[in-house]
Amino acid sequence: MADRGAATKILLPESEMPTRWYNILADMPSPPDPPLHPGTKQPPAPEDLAPLFPMDLIEQEVSGQRYFDIPEPVLDIYRMWRPTPLHRAHRLEAALGTPAHIYYKYEGTSPAGSHKPNTSVAQAYYNRKAGITRLTTETGAGQWGSALAFAARQFDLEIRVYMVKVSYEQKPYRRLMIETWGGEVVPSPSRLTASGRRILEDDPDSPGSLGIAISEAVEEAAGRKDTNYSLGSVLNHVLLHQTVIGQEAQKQFALAGDYPDVVIACCGGGSNFGGLTFPFLYDRFTGNAPKAARVVAVEPAACPTLTRGVYAYDFGDTAGFTPLMKMYTLGHGFMPPGIHAGGLRYHGDSPIVSKLVKDGHVEAQAYSQVGVFEAAVQFARTEGIIPAPESAHAVKSAVEEALAAKAEGAPRTILFGLSGHGHFDLAAYEQYLRGRLQDYEYPAEMVEKALADLPVVPGA
Amino acid sequence: MADRGAATKILLPESEMPTRWYNILADMPSPPDPPLHPGTKQPPAPEDLAPLFPMDLIEQEVSGQRYFDIPEPVLDIYRMWRPTPLHRAHRLEAALGTPAHIYYKYEGTSPAGSHKPNTSVAQAYYNRKAGITRLTTETGAGQWGSALAFAARQFDLEIRVYMVKVSYEQKPYRRLMIETWGGEVVPSPSRLTASGRRILEDDPDSPGSLGIAISEAVEEAAGRKDTNYSLGSVLNHVLLHQTVIGQEAQKQFALAGDYPDVVIACCGGGSNFGGLTFPFLYDRFTGNAPKAARVVAVEPAACPTLTRGVYAYDFGDTAGFTPLMKMYTLGHGFMPPGIHAGGLRYHGDSPIVSKLVKDGHVEAQAYSQVGVFEAAVQFARTEGIIPAPESAHAVKSAVEEALAAKAEGAPRTILFGLSGHGHFDLAAYEQYLRGRLQDYEYPAEMVEKALADLPVVPGA
C-alpha cells in the first residue's frame, strides 16, 4: 500500500487563481527571430494578420510586455474547472521505489479534457469583443476543435470545424463533443472552399490532412468579415494564455513547501509545454526561486523536431501559406508516422520554444511510443488516471528521472504536466496491451527529403 | 454572458474529507423489512452470506450503528480525487432565467468517471483485509466493472469481470479501461461456469444479460475460497459507502452559506441516490438543519420502478438466485427497453430507498429519455460538462424545479447529483442530436406479466 504521509492533491481556492498571463518574451535572454511574410520575406505588419485575428490577439502575439491581465469574463469561465489540482504521485513513487518526489499538474479536468480551453476561451472572448460572430478552425482527432467549440458556445459564437476526413469517419467521439456543444463539423476536404474543391477534383476520395484543413479554415475566415480563424498552438499568444498552468503550479509548490528540480512537459506545437514551464523559466531568468529548475521538452522519436530537426525559417503549415517562422523543423513537407500521440505529430514547433532549446535553456528528449505506453499503463495502475498519449510522453520522462534519482540514491523533486486524459484514446491502449503497438525508427530519409525543400531566406 | 457573482465551485481541502460513513438505518423512522432466504423465507444468517462477502461488509449490511469509521487506506485512495467539487450552475441559471440557485455535486472526477469508486475501493479494501486475493463481478456497459478494476488494482487483488457479451462486443471503451487497470474481462455467457455453459448449450449465440453475468460471477466466487463477489449498488453497505458524497455537500453548503430546499438524484439501484441524499435525510429526521429539504429520486419512464412498481418481496436478480428483498419492483422478469441510461435499467431498487419512498420521505419522478437528453444538452452547452445519461435524469428534474421557481417568481435552492460524465455515451448524444432518439411508453403489459411472477412470501 502507498505512502500515506503528505497530501495527495494540492488544491488552490478560486480566489488564488492567477489573474494575469505571463509573457516570456519580456525575459528571454535572447528573443526569437521575427516571423517573415512568405512573399516579401519581411516581418508582417499587424494589418497583414487582421483578416484572421482580432487586434487584441495580434498585440499579444508581438508584445514584449511581461504580463497581460486576464479579462474577467475569461476568468469567470476558467473558474468552471480552474485552478486545476497538483497531485503528488505517492503511488507511482512507491511502485518505482524512488526517493524522488513526483508531482503532476493535471489539466484533464477541463470540460474538453485537456489544457486547450485555457486559450480557446481567451481567443473566443477577444473575437467576440471585436464584433466577430463566427470562428473557423481545423482539427485532427478533435482535441482542439472540441476545446474551441466549448469556448465558442460560452460567448455565443458560431463555429465551423474542418475536421480531417479520415478522423471524422474513424474517430467520431470528439466530433460528437463538438456537436453536443453546438459546433458544426465539416469533413475536410469539403466543397465549401476553393482549396477543398481543388483537392476533391484531383482525388474525390482524399482522406484529408491537417494541412488541407488549415487551408480551408483560413480561406473561409479570410473571405468573411464576420468570421475569424483560431489556432490551438505554436503562436506566441496561444502559449501566453496557457501560462495559468505554471503559475498555479508555483503557488501549489509554495503551499507544499517544495520546489521542482526538474519540470517536464510534452511538446508538439508548444502550448502545453510553454504553459507549464514558462513561469518556472521566469524564476530561473530572474533568480526568483530557491533553485533553478531544469526544464525538459519531451517529443516522440517518430517526430523528433527538437532533437533531430534543424533550426531554420520554415512554413507553419504543410501547404506553405503561413508566415515563415524561425524554429526547429523537420521540413514542412514531412509527414510523421501514424503514432497515437496525434497532438505531437507536427513538423515544426513554437518559435519561442525553439529559441529556448537552441540557446540551451530547455533540454529536449525523444521517446518511442511502446516505452511511452508502458509508462502510461504503469501510471494508470498506480495513480488511476489514464493519460492521453501526448501526456504519456511526459510520464515516461518523469519515470526516467525518478529512476535516475533512485540509481543515485539522492532525492529529486520532479514536476510534470499531465495535459489531458486518454478517454478517447483507449484503442491505442488496446494495441499496447495486445502487443500490437509499433515503434518507428527515426525517419531519416523522409526528414532529409523534407529539409531539402526549406524556403530560402536571404541572410537568415 | 453569465452571472459573475458568487463562486463557481465550492472546494473542500483534503483535511475536510469525511472520515466516516453515515448509516441511515440508525435514523429511519421505520426500518425496511429484512431480506429473506429464497428457500426458507427466513432472514439469512451472516454465515449464509460468508461465501460471497467478507464479514466486515456483512456487518455493515445489517448494522444499525449510525457511523462507520472509514479505514485510513480507503481514505488514502479517496484522496486521489476527493473531496469532489460542488458547482454553482451560474450559466444554467442564466439560460433558464430562473431566480433559483442551482448547485450540482460532480462525481465525474474520479478515475473511473463516476461515483462508483466510493464503494469499490471500500469493498476491495475489506476483501483484501479478509485475506481474499480475487474478486468477481458482473458489468453491463462497464461502469461498475471499471470502478472495481481500478479499486482491485490499488489493493493488488486480481479481478475477473463478466461483461454482458453484447456490450463486450459493441462498447469496447470501458472494457479497455478495465484491461488498462489490469483486470480480466470475460464475455458472458462464458464456458468458465456451469451457468454460462448451460446458456450456451441452449443458445451458442446468446447476447448475454446482466442476470446471466451475475449468475456466473456469483457461481465462481461461491466455489473458490480465495475469491469473493462484489456488487455495485442496491445493498445497504454499498449505499453506506456512498454517503461521503452527501456529507461533503453539506460541508460545502455551509461554506457557501446556503442550504438546499430540494435534493435531487437519479436512482437505479440506489447507490448514487443514497450517497447524496441520506446525509440530508439525516438532517431532516433529526432536525439538524435550518430547513428540511425535499428529496427527489428520478428514474426513467421506461423503467419506472419507484413510480409504477409494486412494493413487495422480489428477487434482486433476473434468474432468481438472490435473497428476496422487500422493495419497489417491476418484477424480476421485467426486461426494460433499451434506453441509454443503462445504470437505471433495473427492475428493483434498494430496500432502504424503497422504504423511504413508501413512507413518503422521498418523492419519486420519472422522465422520458428525449426530454432528459434535451436537458443534458442544455446543461452541456451552459456548464460545459457532458453528463452521463443516468445523471441527465437529475439534470432534467433540476431544470423543472428551476422553471417552477421561475413561474412562482420565488427563490429556491436546488442541489442535484451529477454522478458521472458522458464521455463513453456520446453515441447516445448523436442519436438525440440527429432526432433519432426514441421515447418508450410505459410498458404496462410487460410489467403486468412480470409482476404475475412475484415470489409468494406468506404473511408479507
Is pLDDT above 80 for A459?
A: no
* Structure confidence by residue, pLDDT tens digits, A12-26: 989 999 999 999 999
d(CA B231, CA B238): 8
Q: Where on the phi/psi map is residue B436: left (φ > 0), alpha (ψ -120 to 50), or beta? A: alpha
CA-to-CA dists, residue B183 to A274, B141, B390, angstroms: 37, 15, 25
d(CA A447, CA B313): 72
* Structure confidence by residue, pLDDT tens digits, B389-417: 999 999 999 999 999 999 999 999 999 99
Residue A229 lies in a domain: no
Compute the half-sphere exposure of residue B62: CA atoms within 13 Å on the CB side of its CA. Answer: 15
Average pLDDT of every residue of chain A = 94
The whole-number pLDDT of residue A264 equals: 98
Q: Judge whether A436 is closer than 8 Å to chain B, CB to CB.
A: no
Residue A31 lies in a domain: no
Residue B410 lies in a domain: yes
Find, in chain B, the residue whose alpha carbon is nearest to that of A94.
Answer: B154
d(CA B193, CA B216): 6
**Do B426 and A172 make contact, defined as CB atoms within 8 angstroms?**
yes
* Structure confidence by residue, pLDDT tens digits, B423-446: 999 999 999 999 999 998 788 888
Is residue A432 helix, strand or coil? Answer: helix
Within 10 Å of residue A195's Cβ, how many Cβ atoms? 24
The whole-number pLDDT of residue B297 equals: 98
Is pLDDT above 50 for A252?
A: yes
- Residues found in chain A: 460
Q: Judge whether A176 is closer than 8 Å to chain B, CB to CB.
A: yes
C-alpha cell at A141: 482527432
**Do A383 and B80 make contact, defined as CB atoms within 8 angstroms?**
yes
C-beta of residue A372 within 8 angstroms of C-beta of residue A438: no
* Structure confidence by residue, pLDDT tens digits, A315-349: 988 878 889 999 999 999 888 888 888 889 889 99
Give B 9-28 residues with CB within 8 A of chain A.
9, 11, 13-14
The answer to whether the Cα torsion of B157, B163, B169, B174 is positive or negative is negative
Chain A CB contacts of B172 under 8 Å are: 426-427, 430
d(CA A293, CA A129): 38
Which residues pair with residue B415 across a beta bridge?
B103, B263
Instruction: Write phi, then psi, for B64 (nearest 5 degrees).
Output: -105, 5
pLDDT (mean) for A438-445: 85
pLDDT (mean) for B279-307: 95
C-alpha cell at A71: 479579462
Is pLDDT above 90 for B341?
A: no
Residue B147 lies in a domain: no
pLDDT (mean) for B276-290: 95
First to last CA, chain A: 57
Q: Which helix (H) or strand (E) holds A283?
A: helix A271-286
Best residue in B12, B75, B79 for a mutation probing chain A (most A CBs within 10 Å): B79
Which residue, B420, B111, B423, is CA-closest to A172?
A: B423
Find, in chain B, the residue whose alpha carbon is nearest to that of A174.
Answer: B426
The whole-number pLDDT of residue B360 equals: 98
**Do A176 and B79 make contact, defined as CB atoms within 8 angstroms?**
no
Q: Judge whether B76 is closer than 8 Å to chain A, CB to CB.
A: yes
Is pLDDT above 70 for A185?
A: yes
* Structure confidence by residue, pLDDT tens digits, A345-383: 889 999 999 999 999 999 999 999 999 999 999 999 999
C-alpha cell at B220: 465462481
Is residue B342 helix, strand or coil? Answer: helix
C-alpha cell at B344: 437505471
C-beta of residue B245 within 8 angstroms of C-beta of residue B115: yes
The whole-number pLDDT of residue B347 equals: 92
Is pLDDT above 60 for A1?
A: no
d(CA B37, CA B323): 5
The answer to whether the Cα torsion of B208, B209, B215, B220 is positive or negative is positive
Of A76, A181, A383, the CB nearest to B381: A181
C-alpha cell at A215: 487551408
C-beta of residue B122 within 8 angstroms of C-beta of residue B78: no
Q: What is the DSSP letter of B114?
A: B
The alpha carbon of residue B92 is apart from the nearest alpha carbon of chain A, in Å, by 11
* A3 vs A458: which has the higher pLDDT: A458
**Do B381 and A2 make contact, defined as CB atoms within 8 angstroms?**
no
Is pLDDT above 50 for B184?
A: yes
**Strands, E assignment, B280-339:** 294-300, 310-315, 324-329
Strand order in the sheet with A86-88: A9-10, A86-88, A101-106, A413-418, A262-266, A294-300, A363-367
**Do A14 and B7 make contact, defined as CB atoms within 8 angstroms?**
yes
pLDDT band at residue B388, thresholds of 50, 70 and 90? very high
The whole-number pLDDT of residue B290 equals: 87
Is pLDDT above 90 for A271?
A: yes
Q: What is the DSSP letter of B11?
A: -
The whole-number pLDDT of residue A10 equals: 93
Best residue in B1, B120, B421, B423 for a mutation probing chain A (most A CBs within 10 Å): B1
The whole-number pLDDT of residue A423 equals: 96
C-alpha cell at A2: 502507498
Transcribe A325-361 into DSSP letters. Answer: EEEEES-TT------S-GGG--SS--HHHHHHHHTTS
Q: Judge whether A426 is closer than 8 Å to chain B, CB to CB.
A: yes
d(CA B191, CA A36): 67
Instruction: Write phi, then psi, for A384 (nearest 5 degrees).
Output: 90, -45
Which residues pair with residue A327 across a beta bridge?
A312
Which residue, A121, A144, A305, A130, is CA-closest to A210?
A: A144
Residue B156 lies in a domain: no
Which residues pair with residue A326 across a beta bridge?
A313
Q: Judge whether B381 is closer than 8 Å to chain A, CB to CB.
A: yes
How far does Cα A153 stand from its chain's mean position? 22
Residue type, A459: G
C-alpha cell at B52: 460471497
User: Would you call the peptide bond into A189 cis, given omega within 30 degrees of 0 as the criterion?
Assistant: yes
d(CA A54, CA A130): 6
The whole-number pLDDT of residue B4 equals: 41
**Do A430 and B150 make contact, defined as CB atoms within 8 angstroms?**
no
C-beta of residue A300 within 8 angstroms of C-beta of residue A344: yes
Looking up cell 480563424 gives A229
The whole-number pLDDT of residue B140 equals: 86
Strand order in the sheet with A184-188: A184-188, A158-164, A134-139, A227-229
Question: At A302, which CATH number?
Answer: 3.40.50.1100
Of A73, A177, A386, the CB nearest to B1: A73
The whole-number pLDDT of residue B1 equals: 36
The whole-number pLDDT of residue A2 equals: 39
The whole-number pLDDT of residue A335 equals: 82
d(CA B342, CA B278): 23
**Angle value at C-alpha B62, between B61 and B67, nearest 5 degrees:** 75
The alpha carbon of residue A377 is apart from the nearest alpha carbon of chain B, in Å, by 6
pLDDT (mean) for B203-214: 90
> Is residue B30 exposed (0-12), middle (13-18) or buried (19+ Cβ within 10 Å)?
exposed
pLDDT band at residue B460, thresholds of 50, 70 and 90? low
C-beta of residue A234 within 8 angstroms of C-beta of residue A9: no
Average pLDDT of every residue of chain B = 94
C-alpha cell at B117: 469508486
d(CA B437, CA B430): 9
Residue type, A117: P
Residue A227 lies in a domain: no
Is pLDDT above 50 for A4?
A: no
**Angle value at C-alpha B175, between B173 and B179, nearest 5 degrees:** 115
Close Cβ partners of A175 (under 8 Å, ≥ 6 residues apart): A142, A145, A163, A167, A168, A185
C-beta of residue A454 within 8 angstroms of C-beta of residue A313: yes
Which residue, B83, B385, B411, B106, is CA-closest to B258?
A: B411
Q: What is the DSSP letter of A271?
A: H
**Do A176 and B11 make contact, defined as CB atoms within 8 angstroms?**
no
Chain A CB contacts of B383 under 8 Å are: 80
Best residue in B87, B92, B176 for a mutation probing chain A (most A CBs within 10 Å): B176
Residue A304 lies in a domain: yes
pLDDT above 90 as % of chain A? 83
Structural domain that includes position A301: 9-19+70-113+237-452
Q: How many helices (H) and strands (E) does chain B have?
A: 19, 15
Q: Judge whether B373 is closer than 8 Å to chain A, CB to CB.
A: no
Least confident range of A106-115, A118-127, A364-373, B314-323: B314-323
Compute the half-sphere exposure of residue A456: CA atoms within 13 Å on the CB side of its CA. Answer: 1
Residue B170 lies in a domain: no
Q: Judge whether A180 is closer than 8 Å to chain B, CB to CB.
A: yes
pLDDT (mean) for B280-292: 94
Using only C-alpha atoms, chain B has a radius of gyration, in whole angstroms, of: 21
Q: Which helix (H) or strand (E) holds A139?
A: strand A134-139
The whole-number pLDDT of residue B3 equals: 41
Which residue, A408, A404, A399, is CA-closest to A93?
A: A399
pLDDT band at residue A38, thresholds of 50, 70 and 90? confident
Find, in chain B, the residue whose alpha carbon is nearest to that of A373.
Answer: B180
Q: How many domains does chain A have?
A: 1
Is residue A15 helix, strand or coil? Answer: helix
Structure pTM? 0.96
